[in-house]
Every structure is written in C-alpha cells, then in structure tokens.
Structure 1
Amino acid sequence: MFKFSVWVDADSFPVKARSFAVSHASSKMVPLVFVANHEIKSEKTVRMILCKKEKDAADNYILSHCGNNDIVLTRDIVFAARLLEKEIKVMNDRGFVFTKDNIADKLREREFSLNMAEIGLGGGKENYYGEKELKKFSTVFSEELQKHIIADVYNIKK
C-alpha cells in the first residue's frame, strides 16, 4: 500500500470524473477517499467519509486529514487555495492542476464570474462536462498519480 491517498471533494465532483478516479486509483492500488455531506455510491475500494451538512464541512475535513504527499480533487477554487497553503497537490475535474503561481489568477476569474452573474451577465458554459473535459482530466490525473507512485516507491520528497 502506498503512503499517499487521493481525496475527492465529492459533493460536486462530476460522476464521470469520480468514476475514472475510482477505476484508475483502484487499478494502481492507491487509497481513494470520498468526502461529502451525503452518501456517494461507489466501489467497495473507496472509503466514504460523511460530514455534517454544514458549509465547508467536507473541505475542512479533507484539509485537516490529508497529508503533504496526497492528491486532492476538487472543483472549489477557494478550497484549492487553502490546500496550496498546506502544500497539497490539488487539481480540478477538468485536469487543471492548481499551483501557487496560478491560484491568484483563478481566484480573480472566480470573483469576476460571480460579479457578472450577480448583474445577470453570467453564463452556464463552465457547467458543461463532456467527453473533452473528462479526457483532459483522465490524462492529467493519470500523470499526477504516476508521479506520486514513483515518488512513493523511490521515497522521493514531493
């Protein structure tokens, strides 16, 4: 068993991306943990953590239980920023890996989108999740998982 886990902020993570993460992590025997405020049906290989139905309960649980070598999958940009402060590898469902170099731009984009939506000019295009988005996620997730496996096997500090 590896010394790292993949954590999924599962409340809003797309089913297709969750399914890929489960099948790929399981095939590599990497521990996978879903954290949500409602039951998420999945394979028996996935550990499910149910949190209270409170704002940020799942985020706070992941933040307090994940380790430096872990990978966190989330769609929440503000949560991604909190994870980066703890030096946790974090990516979204579209294969975007958040870093200290790009998180400020993503937070600004989020704020701009929220402001546009408030005045009625926000669009729903970003909510679409199709094969193109899944392919990008699966490619990047596979690469990140492989990097973590190699680092774990050869005891390389990430």
Structure 2
Amino acid sequence: MTVMSQAIEIYVDADACPVKAEVYRVAERHRVKVFVVANSFMAVPNDPLIERVVVSAGFDAADDWIAERAKRGCIVITADIPLAHRCVSAGADVIGPTGRPFTEASIGMALATRNLMEDLRAMGDVSGGPKPFSAKDRSAFLSALDLAIVRLKRAGFGQPE
C-alpha cells in the first residue's frame, strides 16, 4: 500500500511582495502549487499551479486567509512579522522576501524587534523603513526558497497530483 504524501504549497502575502516573479520561477521548476493572496486584483501568470486569491478588504484578511491554511509542508512568503509568527506556530516554513527564514528560534526576537521599532517610530525617535531591496536580497530569497522546497521533499512532502 502506498501512502499519498501531502503536496507542498506556497502561500504568498502578495500586496507588497517584491519577489513574486522569483516564487513563480522556483515553483514552476519544482512543480509546486502557489497561492497569491491579496485584498485586490493582482495579475498572475496563466498557469494551473498558480492561483490568485482575492480576499475582502478587511484589516488582516489576507493574513487570516494564509494563517488558517498554514501547516507543516507549506511555505509562506511574507515580510509581516505577526503573520510569520502565526505561520511558524502552525508548523509552516516561513521566508521573508530578503531570504531570511523565520523559525521557532528566531521569531520571538523578530517580534520583539518589530515591536520596539514600532514604539520608537511612534515616539518619533526613528523614521524611515527598511533598507531598499537589493539584487543580493533577491538572490538570497531564491536560495532560501529552493532550499525550503528541497528540505520538504526530503521530509516526504510531495507534489500536487
């Protein structure tokens, strides 16, 4: 008797994601299903493995949709630290657009840093946002996504039928 393995799925928090094209390229190479989640229409490639999901305009609607589906065998692409925390807690692999993996070991510090920076910005002590996205970030992301998929395949997760 053969055991059917759970397909690997990628969930992209798409509204401000700078690496959607890279996700599509890696997913196509590995034949992995991608859900591009946003609260407004977004163009996606015409490919049966890529599904556009438009959620309501409610606060955190895209985050909630992704978090409800995140589990072991899924990869979530997001720069949103609270969403990353929810997904890591559910067992998903989570990667930021710069290639930074969010793990059980790192998510607590990421949340603390985010909250500290939010407080400092509110007090006017810090202005500006993250540094500009670079080619090095894009390359690191490609490597991290490819590595996550290979690791899941080795762990017994499969591809869609």
Q: The TM-score by the shorter chain falls in which range?
A: 0.7 to 0.9
Aligned residues with identical type, % of pairs: 22
Deviation at 1:2, TM superposition (A): 6.7
Runs (5+) with no aligned partner, structure 1: none
- Mapping of 1:58-77 within 5 angstroms? 58-77=62-81
How many residues in Structure 1 have an aligned counterpart in Structure 2? 152
Q: Structure 1: how far apart are the matches of 2:120 and 2:89?
A: 28
Q: Structure 2: how far apart are the matches of 1:124 and 1:146?
A: 36
**Counterpart check, 1:9 vs 2:9:** no
Contact 2:26 2:146 in 1 (8 A): yes
Q: Deviations over 1:50-72 (max 9, x none)?
A: 00001110111112223321111
Cα-Cα RMSD: 1.9
Q: Structure 2: how far apart are the matches of 1:147 and 1:78?
A: 24
Q: Structure 2: how far apart are the matches of 1:53 and 1:130?
A: 30
Deviation at 1:149, TM superposition (A): 2.5
Which residue of the partner structure matches residue 126 of structure 1? 130
Runs (5+) with no aligned partner, structure 2: none
Q: Structure 1: how far apart are the matches of 2:6 and 2:103?
A: 24
Q: Which runs of 4+ in 1 moved over 4 A?
A: none
Deviation at 1:114, TM superposition (A): 0.9
Q: Structure 1: how far apart are the matches of 2:138 and 2:63?
A: 23
Does 53-62 or 2-11 show the bigger shift?
2-11
- Mapping of 1:2-151 within 5 angstroms? 3-14=7-18, 17-45=19-47, 46-124=50-128, 126-151=130-155
Q: Structure 1: how far apart are the matches of 2:109 and 2:69?
A: 27
Q: Structure 1: how far apart are the matches of 2:77 and 2:93?
A: 9
Relative contact order higher in (CA < 8 Å, ≥ 6 apart): 2
Does 58-67 or 103-112 show the bigger shift?
58-67
Q: Deviations over 1:6-61 (max 9, x none)?
A: 110111211xx110010111121111110110112121221011000011101111
Query: Residue type matched to 2:29 in 1?
Result: S
Contact 1:2 1:30 in 2 (8 A): no
